Structure formats: C-alpha cells, structure tokens
Amino acid sequence: MQYEFITCESAYQSHIALVRLNRPKELNALNLQLMQELKHALQTLDNNEDVRCIIITGNEKAFAAGADIKQMESRTAIDMLIIDQFETWDQIRKTKKPVIAAVSGFCLGGGCELAMTCDMIIASESAKFGQPEIKIGIMPGAGGTQRLTRAVGKALAMEMVLTGKFISAEEAWQAGLVNRVVPEEVYLEEAVKLANEVAQQSPVAIRLAKESVLKAFDSGLQEGLYFERKNFYMCFASEDQKEGMNAFVEKRKPNFKGK
Ligand code: DAK
C-alpha cells in the first residue's frame, strides 16, 4: 500500500519500526485516510517477525491535533455510524507488539487518544496534551474519557474533558500520563532507546506481558491474576525462556528468537 499521510521505516537489525504521522500543514489532523493507513501499517508491522517494537511519532510541532474537524464538520450521526471509524481504532488498539508514542507539540483530542492507545509515551518538553472536543460541541469518542481518567485520575481528567484545557508535558508526567519528559532535540532518540530495550527481550514474553498488563484495565483483580498466571505458564513453553535462563546461568547475553 502506498501511504500519503504517514511514512513507515523499519530498522530490521535493531527490530524497530518507526511510523510517522505526516500531514504537517494540518498539524497531523487525523483524517479517515490517515487512520486507514496507520491501521494498515500497524497490521503489517505486527505480522512482520523482524519487528519487535513500533514507535509512532509526528513532528516537533504536533503529534496530532485531533481528528480532522473539517472532515467531520458536516457529518450526521448516521454518517458516523456507517463510516464506523471505531473499527479502525479497534484494530489499532489490538496491535500485539509494543507501541511507543514519541510526542512533541500538540497532542490533542483523537491525537491524545491515539497516544494513550500506545503502551508508553515519551514526551518532549514542548508537548501539550488535551481533550478539547468540548470546545467544538462534542466530547471525546475514542477512549478519552476512559483512558485519560485511568491514567491521571478523576479530578484532572474531568477538568480537561469539561474545559478542554491543555496540560504541559511536565504536568502530564506528574499526573502519570507519560513515561518521561526530555528536551525536544532528543525525544525521538529517547523513544528509540526505550524501543531498543524492549526489542532486546523475548518477543514471546513481551507479547504475553503486554497482554497481561492491558488485562488490568478491563478485569477485576482475581480475573487479572488468573490471566497473568496462564500467560506466565505459557512463557515456559517458549524456547526463549530456556535461552534466557540458560544465558543467565552461563553469564552471557541471551539470543531471543521469538519462538
Ligand atoms: N482538524 C483539522 N484541521 C486542523 C486541526 C484539526 N483537528 N487542527 C489544526 N488544523 C489545521 C488548522 O485548521 C490550520 O489549517 P489552515 O487554516 O492553515 O488551513 C492548520 O492546521 C494550523 O492550525 P492553526 O492555524 O490553528 O495553528 P495554531 O498554532 O494557531 O493552533 C491548535 C494550534 C492545535 C491550538 C489549533 O489548531 C486547534 O485548536 N486545533 C483543533 C484542536 C481540536 O479541537 N482537536 C480535537 C478535534 S476533535 C472518533 C475518534 C476520534 C475522534 C472522533 C471520533 N471515532 C472513532 C468515531 C476525535 C475527535 C477529535 O479529535
């Protein structure tokens, strides 16, 4: 598939892929085609055995300023129902490999929701997070009311969703929305460093571990613990478990194959 609104590069040696949202003049506003392209890229990378960690980024000025308001302006509820963008968003959320958002500049509305769909967020000092949908007469629709509340707690989430106010990268870090804040010059480098650390681990264990952490969001403690236990047992069915433990005993670096 030829992409118009994203770019996608993979460094197979380091097992990392970089997907860049690329509508700079529109601050990477997420139109339908961009989201389709993103879905396609993530599915392709998820199925590529050489890829172990994916980074989604934008540019210094914007990760994404939200869904494309100009495209949505004249839509009716039935248009929205028929277009069923949720299918695309659901597929993106189902990416099995770890996904890191490298965020600089505006990260708003659907952009913030996309970043929160990722597994970890590295923010540049210039990043601004917000759910400003309320200011254009709607509300968050792709997880903003749920994921933001779980990440930052009710008080701040309610204020952001009801007033549309932006928070700085520093505030986002203090509230627990992002993993860390680094100078703008190095935010992508920092995301690559983190991706490298993840990519060095066993892909099997990484997949099971990601699944288990996400389970904590939609289950009670007992069910989550039970799920974790099953995935823990499953690790022992992998060659990577033997290799990892053997390498520890032999005092060498493990060579994980994802088997
Ligand atoms: N959509 C379309 N165009 C946008 C845009 C957006 N969200 N954000 C910015 N742009 C465009 C501007 O219109 C402008 O284009 P031209 O006028 O030059 O043609 C260009 O990008 C530069 O923007 P500004 O001139 O406004 O730049 P400033 O630095 O002055 O301001 C700003 C930056 C980010 C504060 C401002 O652009 C702004 O407020 N943008 C809108 C932010 C916003 O309200 N975001 C939430 C959108 S609603 C769903 C899933 C998700 C969603 C909905 C449904 N389903 C699964 C069903 C999500 C909804 C949303 O995100």
Q: Note whether residue 259 is domain-resident.
A: no
The per-residue pLDDT for 14 is 84
The per-residue pLDDT for 202 is 97
Is residue 113 annotated as part of the catalytic site, yes or no? yes
Same domain for 243 and 181: no
Domain count, the chain: 2
Is residue 21 a contact partner of residue 52, using CB atoms and an 8 Å limit? Answer: no
The per-residue pLDDT for 24 is 98
Q: Enumerate residue ranges in the chain where pLDDT < 70.
A: none
Give the number of the atom of ligand 1 that is nearest the alpha carbon of residue 164: 44
CB-hemisphere CA count at 13 Å for 106?
Answer: 21
DSSP letter assigned to residue 164: -
Pick from 5, 23, 25, 27 the residue to mutate for probing ligand 1's pocket: most ligand atoms within 8 Å of its CB: 27
Same domain for 238 and 169: no
Domain span at residue 218 reads: 203-249
Count of CB atoms situated within 10 Å of the CB of 221: 8
Q: Note whether residue 254 is domain-resident.
A: no
Q: Note whether residue 24 is domain-resident.
A: yes
The per-residue pLDDT for 153 is 97
Q: Note whether residue 28 is domain-resident.
A: yes
Is residue 239 a contact partner of residue 259, using CB atoms and an 8 Å limit? Answer: yes
Same domain for 214 and 160: no
Is residue 237 annotated as part of the catalytic site, yes or no? no
Helices in the chain by DSSP H: which ranges? 32-46, 69-72, 77-83, 85-93, 110-117, 144-152, 154-163, 169-175, 187-199, 203-215, 221-235, 239-249
Pocket lining for ligand 1, CB < 6 angstroms: 26-27, 29, 65-70, 80, 85-86, 89, 106, 108-110, 113, 132-133, 136, 141-142
Domain CATH code at residue 217: 1.10.12.10
Is residue 133 annotated as part of the catalytic site, yes or no? yes
The per-residue pLDDT for 13 is 75
Task: Point out the domain boundary residue: 199, 223, 238.
Answer: 199
Same domain for 94 and 180: yes
Catalytic residue among 58, 64, 111, 113: 113
The per-residue pLDDT for 88 is 94
Q: Note whether residue 1 is domain-resident.
A: no
Same domain for 54 and 110: yes
Same domain for 237 and 167: no
Angle value at C-alpha 137, between 166 and 162, nearest 5 degrees:
40
The per-residue pLDDT for 43 is 97
Give the number of the atom of ligand 1 that is nearest the alpha carbon of residue 85: 56
Is residue 197 a contact partner of residue 170, using CB atoms and an 8 Å limit? Answer: no
Same domain for 211 and 120: no
Same domain for 219 and 183: no
Q: Note whether residue 34 is domain-resident.
A: yes
Is residue 67 annotated as part of the catalytic site, yes or no? yes
The per-residue pLDDT for 140 is 97
Give the number of the atom of ligand 1 that is nearest the alpha carbon of residue 142: 50
The per-residue pLDDT for 117 is 97
Same domain for 132 and 50: yes
Same domain for 75 and 26: yes
Catalytic residue among 58, 66, 105, 110: 110
Whose CA is closest to atom 47 on ligand 1?
66
- Distances in Å between the Cα of 250 and the Cα atoms of 109, 203, 235 are 50, 21, 20
